[in-house]
Structure 1
Amino acid sequence: MDKIIPTLMILLITVACQNQSKKQQEQEDRVAVAKSEKESMIKSKLASKNLLPDNLNILFIAYKNSDKLELYVKSPTDDYYALLQTYAICKRSGILGPKKAEGDKQVPEGFYHIDRFNSQSLYYLSLGLNYPNELDKSLGYTGSDIFIHGKCETVGCLPMTDDLIKEIYLYALWAQESGQQQIPVYIFPFEMTDENIGNFKSEVDAKTYAFWKNLQEGYALFRKNSKALHYSVQSGRYVFD
C-alpha cells in the first residue's frame, strides 16, 4: 500500500502537468495561427506607415452607432497617431448611452485601455478593457468582463469575428511587446459632432446628454491633435489636460 500511494500521486501529477502543457500548447497555437495567417499582411500595412511590429504603439476608437472600430498607429517615439485600418464590428447589444450595471447588455462609452490578453478565450482571442474605469466607479456603475473579441455574439462587448480578431490581437500584442503599457480604447456612441449630438439628444435624459458633451471634449481633442488623451476624473466627469 505504501508503494501504491506515491505511485498514484506521481500519476496524478503527471496527468496534471500534461493537461497544463496541452493548455499552454493550445494558447500558443492560437497566436501561432494568427501569425501564420496575418503576419505578412500586417507587416505590409505597417510598412506603409514606415512602422515595424517591434516598434509600434496603437490606439483604438469604437463608434457604437456605426459599428466600426478604428485602429491608429505610431512609433513609440512619435507623438501623433495615424489611422491605419477601420474594422466592422460584427454585432451590437444594448442602446446608445453608457453602461451602468452588470447585466444591462450595454456597451460602455468613455475612455478605457486594454488591461489583459486572453489567447484561450471562449471567443477565440480577446482583449479585456478596464471597465469600470475611474469615472464609472465614481458614478456607481457596475459590471465586468468587457472585451474586444472574436466570434459574432455579444452582451456588451465588441465582437470582431475570429478572422479579424487575429490581426487586431497581433497589433495589440506587438504594441505591448514594444513597451506600450496601456493601449487606449475610446468608445463613443457616434462621431461626436454637434449635429450628431443634436440628432440624438431627444433619445436620452439630461444626464446622458451632459455625459456625451463631456465625451465630445475628448473626441474633439483627439481629432485636433491626433495624440493620446491625458485626463483625470473630477466631480463625476473627465477633465482633459
Structure 2
Amino acid sequence: MVVLPSPVVQRRAVAWVFLFALALAAPSLARAQSAKATAPIPAATLALMSQKGTSASAPVLFRAYKKESEIEVWKKAAGGRFVHIKTFPICRWSGQLGPKRKTGDRQTPEGFYTVPQRQMNPNSSYYLSFDVGYPNAYDRAQGSTGSAVMVHGVCSSMGCFAMTDQVVGEIYAIARDAFAGGQAAFQFQSYPFRMNAANMARYRTDPNIAFWRQLKEGSDRFEATGEEPNVTVTAGRYAFLPYKDPALESLVTARRVQEEARIASLVEEGSAAVRTTYSDGAQHPFWAALSAKGVSLGDVSRPEALAYAGQDVIVIPAQRRPILVAEAVWSRWMVAASVPALMRVRGFKPAYEQAPSRFAALVTRYDQTLPTILSASLTGQMPAPTPPAIIETLAQR
C-alpha cells in the first residue's frame, strides 16, 4: 500500500518547489530587467539631437497633448533654449479632456508636473515607466485625489499615458541619460490639446476653459522663450514666476498680447464653439492604422470605446461674417475684361465716375424741391415738368 503525504505536506512541498524555481529564474529576470532599463537611445534619435545642437546628457522636458494623442521630447541646446527633438504617438489615454479629479475617474491629468529620478521605475509591470507626479500642489489645492499616474508601456490606460513597450523604452532611455548628465528633475507638461489661439477660441464655452487659460499662460511662456516656465501655485491657481532676464519677459508679454488678440479676432469672426467628448479616451491615428492592418498592439484597454473617441458637439455654430468689398473694387471688377462675358455689366460706371446730374445743385431738401424746380422752369433754366402729375407728386412729399 502506498502512503501519500498529508495535504499540508503536499502544499509545503509545492511551495518549496516554486521558491526553488523562482530562485533559479531570479538572475535571468534581473538581467532582463537590467537590459531593458539600460538599453541605449537609438542612433537615429542621437543623430537628431546632434543636428539640433544638443546631446543625450542635456536636460530634457516632455509635453503631452491628449486630443492629439502625442508626447513631445524637448532637449536643452547649447544656446540655453529647449529645442524639439521628436514626437511620440500615444497608444492609449483614458477619460475626457479636462483635469483629473479623483481616484478611479480614469482621467489622464493635465498640468505641470515634476519628475525626479526616484520616480523612474525600471521594474514596472508595464515594461518601463515613470510617475509623472500627480497630484501636484495645484491638484491638492483643488482637493483632487489619486496616485501612480504613469507614462508606461503596453497599450492599456486607467488614467496613464500608455505608449507601448518599444516607445516607452526610448522615452525612458532619454530621461535616464538626462539624469546621468546631472539633471535633478524634469518637467512634464500635460495639456488637453495644443494651446494655440484657434483651440482656445474653439473651446471657449467648455466648463474647463478657466483652467485651460492657466495652462495656456505656462505654454505661452515656454513657446515664447524656449525656457522651462517657473511654476507655482497661488490661491489655488497656477502662477508663473517672471524670468530673471527682462528680455525674456518682453517676449512673453508680446506673445500673450498677440495670442489674446488672435483669440478675440476668431471669436468676433464667428468661429464655432465645440465640446469634444470621449467614451473613454483615445489613441493616436498611427496606432489605429496599425491595428486596422492586423498588427497586434497587445493588451488594449477598452478597445470598444475607441469608436466613440473625439466626438465634437457644436455648442455655437460657425457664423462667418460677410466679406465687405469696397465699391472701388467691386465696381471695377464688374466691367473688367477678365470677367466672363455673361457676368459682365455692359456700360456700367460707378457713381463716382459718372457725370454729375444737372439737377444735383437744384434738388436739396424735399420742402424746397417743388418751388426750386418751378422757379427754374419759369426762368427758362429747365423745361417745365410734364406730365402735370409729376408736380402733384412732388408737392405731396
Tell which structure's C-alpha radius of gyration is larger: 2
Moved over 3 A (4+): 14-24
Give the aligned partner of residue 4 of structure 1: none
- 1:183 matched to 2:186? The reply is yes
Give the aligned partner of residue 123 of structure 2: 120
Q: How far apart in 2 are the matches of 1:23 and 1:183?
A: 29
Give the one of 72, 90, 96 matched to 2:74. 72
Q: How far apart in 1 are the matches of 2:88 and 2:33?
A: 25
Instruction: Give matches, 1:1-241, under 5 Å.
Output: 21-32=27-38, 34-35=39-40, 38-53=41-56, 55-75=57-77, 78-115=79-116, 116-202=119-205, 204-205=206-207, 208-241=208-241
User: Please, what TM-score do these two structures have when normalized by structure 2?
Assistant: 0.52
Q: How far apart in 2 are the matches of 1:19 and 1:145?
A: 28
- The share of aligned pairs that are identical, in percent, is 33
SS of structure 2 residue aligned to 1:136: helix
Deviations 1:139-181 (A, max 9, x none): 1000111111111111111111111111111100000111111
Is contact 2:112-2:231 (8 Å) kept? no
Is contact 2:195-2:216 (8 Å) kept? yes
Deviations 1:100-127 (A, max 9, x none): 0011000101001224111121111111
SS of structure 2 residue aligned to 1:47: helix
Q: How far apart in 1 are the matches of 2:26 and 2:79?
A: 41
State the 1:193 CA deviation: 2.3
Is contact 1:56-1:175 (8 Å) kept? yes
User: Please, what TM-score do these two structures have when normalized by structure 1?
Assistant: 0.84
Is contact 2:72-2:86 (8 Å) kept? yes
State the 1:47 CA deviation: 1.7
Q: Which amino acid aligns with 1:172?
A: A
Q: How far apart in 2 are the matches of 1:172 and 1:147?
A: 14
Q: Which amino acid aligns with 1:27?
A: Q
State the 1:18 CA deviation: 6.3
State the 1:61 CA deviation: 0.5
Is contact 1:72-1:83 (8 Å) kept? yes
Is contact 1:26-1:120 (8 Å) kept? no
Is contact 1:30-1:120 (8 Å) kept? no
Deviations 1:77-110 (A, max 9, x none): 7531000101111112100000000110001010
RMSD of equivalent CA atoms: 2.2
Is contact 2:150-2:161 (8 Å) kept? yes
State the 1:43 CA deviation: 2.3
Count the aligned residue pairs: 222
Q: Which amino acid aligns with 1:234?
A: T
Relative distance call for 1:210 and 1:57 in structure 2 (3 A) is same
Q: Which amino acid aligns with 2:34?
A: E
Q: How far apart in 1 are the matches of 2:237 and 2:25?
A: 47
Relative distance call for 1:197 and 1:51 in structure 2 (3 A) is closer
Q: Which amino acid aligns with 2:180?
A: E
Q: How far apart in 1 are the matches of 2:174 and 2:50?
A: 13
State the 1:20 CA deviation: 5.8
Is contact 1:65-1:96 (8 Å) kept? yes
Q: How far apart in 2 are the matches of 1:21 and 1:177?
A: 25
Deviations 1:57-80 (A, max 9, x none): 1101011111111110115x7531
Q: How far apart in 2 are the matches of 1:82 and 1:129?
A: 21
Q: How far apart in 2 are the matches of 1:200 and 1:105?
A: 22
Relative distance call for 1:52 and 1:18 in structure 2 (3 A) is farther
SS of structure 1 residue aligned to 2:113: strand
Higher strand proportion: 1
Is contact 1:42-1:167 (8 Å) kept? no
